[in-house]
Amino acid sequence: MDSRNEKGLNNSSQKENLDFKRLVDIISNYLFTEKEPLRDEVIAVMNERPSL
């Protein structure tokens, strides 16, 4: 990932209150496997968990 993409992803993760490292891991895994992440993996990226 080049610095421009990393900077944009970092800004987006801050705005959406997401864990940057976990977000990069999920995106990298998706690009490698082409399988959508599981719901629990997506929830783990969120710094603030959704409530019912």
Ordered by start, the domain boundaries in the chain are 3-45
| 16/28 Cα distance (integer angstroms) | 19
pLDDT at residue 3 in the model: 84
Looking at residue 35, what DSSP letter applies?
-
What is the per-residue pLDDT across 24-51, written as a single tens digit (0 to 9) for each? 999 999 999 999 999 999 999 999 987 8
pLDDT at residue 52 in the model: 72
What are the residues whose beta carbons fall under 8 Å from the beta carbon of 20, sequence distance 6 or more?
Answer: 9, 10, 13, 14
pLDDT at residue 39 in the model: 94
pLDDT at residue 50 in the model: 79
Helix pair angle (20-33, 3-15), 10° resolution: 120
pLDDT at residue 42 in the model: 94
| 20/46 Cα distance (integer angstroms) | 9
